[in-house]
Amino acid sequence: MTHYDQTGVTYSQTRRPDPRIGAVIDRAVVGLASVANIGAGTGSYEPSQTVVAVEPSRVMISQRPRGAAPAVKAMAEALPLRTGAVEAALAVITVHHWTGLAAGVSEMLRVARRRVIILTWDHDVIQQFWLLREYVPAAAQTDARLAVPITTLVELLGHERVSVVTVPVPHDCADGFGGAFWRRPDAYLDDTVQRGMSLFSMTPNHEVRQGLSRLRADLSSGDWQRRHANLLQLPELDLGYRLLIADLR
């Protein structure tokens, strides 16, 4: 059983793709005729050129929308695709769950003829996020344990052919990933929102309960708003999300 067989039941309710983040990914696949989406989950951010999705969790596959690309239940570390099967291999916020990172990246490089694209995050940046720093340091430890260093991915993809694109988070982001509600802190108190985030679903509840209680109190008193007044006018924020693009030829 994968992690998402247990925590992904409500995933499609809170993890809807944000069109601005989707546009960054779409630009990375412009001119490419075929894409394999690796660790595809429910199909968020799946480009129209996607011809196959690979996902190990049946729970996640069952939530893919009608008309989505055909999905295969398999692991990134052993892709059931022939060498050079597609022009691009894509992995969106998934590499931190792979049991064999090097093997998974190697498989993406094997099946892609022209480009490998990975959306992930930089822990060195997101650990400064107010939620982790001020309220739930235990979740910050979870993030540190999960996060894959950008330098590691660049090395696995090949230094000389990788570009790194910053993906800022809009203030009204539609996707409920860990940093999505940086300007809407009340959302972090919602149980359904929490279940869609690895930060919370993979951190023992008793380790975050006290911090979330303090957040609730600070929001009620206005203390949070006073401390973070500078955030309330920002349209977007860099929380460390990065798109790595490796051109193979």
pLDDT tens per residue across span 233-244 = 999 999 999 999
Of the candidates 150, 151, 167, 132, which has an alpha carbon nearest to the alpha carbon of residue 241? Answer: 167
Position 157 pLDDT exceeds 50: yes
Of the candidates 82, 69, 71, which has an alpha carbon nearest to the alpha carbon of residue 112? Answer: 82
Q: Which two tokens stand for residue 8?
A: 């992904």
Pseudo-torsion of CA 157, 89, 237, 227, nearest 10°?
-80
pLDDT tens-place string over residues 14-72:
678 999 999 999 999 999 999 999 999 989 999 999 999 999 999 999 989 999 999 99
219 close to 185: Cβ distance less than 8 angstroms: yes
CB within 8 Å of 152: residues ≥ 6 apart: 101
Q: Where are the domains of the chain?
A: 3-247
User: E-strand spans in 39-127?
Assistant: 50-54, 71-72, 86-92, 112-121
Position 94 pLDDT exceeds 60: yes
Alpha-carbon span 48 to 69, nearest angstrom: 9
**Residue 47 amino acid letter:** P
Position 2 pLDDT exceeds 60: no
H helices of the chain, in order, are 3-7, 11-14, 19-28, 58-61, 101-111, 123-126, 130, 137-146, 150-157, 191-195, 198-201, 205-221, 223-227
pLDDT tens-place string over residues 171-225:
999 999 899 999 999 999 999 898 888 888 889 999 999 999 999 999 999 999 9
pLDDT tens-place string over residues 79-88:
999 999 999 9
Position 136 pLDDT exceeds 90: yes
Of the candidates 31, 53, 189, which has an alpha carbon nearest to the alpha carbon of residue 111? Answer: 53
pLDDT tens-place string over residues 105-124:
999 999 999 999 999 999 99
Of the candidates 89, 78, 95, 92, which has an alpha carbon nearest to the alpha carbon of residue 111? Answer: 89
SS3 content of the chain, % helix, strand, coil (to 5): 45, 20, 35
pLDDT at 11: 52
Alpha-carbon span 115 to 108, nearest angstrom: 9
User: What homologous superfamily is domain 3-247 in, according to CATH?
Assistant: Vaccinia Virus protein VP39 (3.40.50.150)
Query: Phi, psi (5° rounding) for residue 72?
Result: -115, 130
Task: Report the share of the chain in percent with pLDDT over 70.
Answer: 94
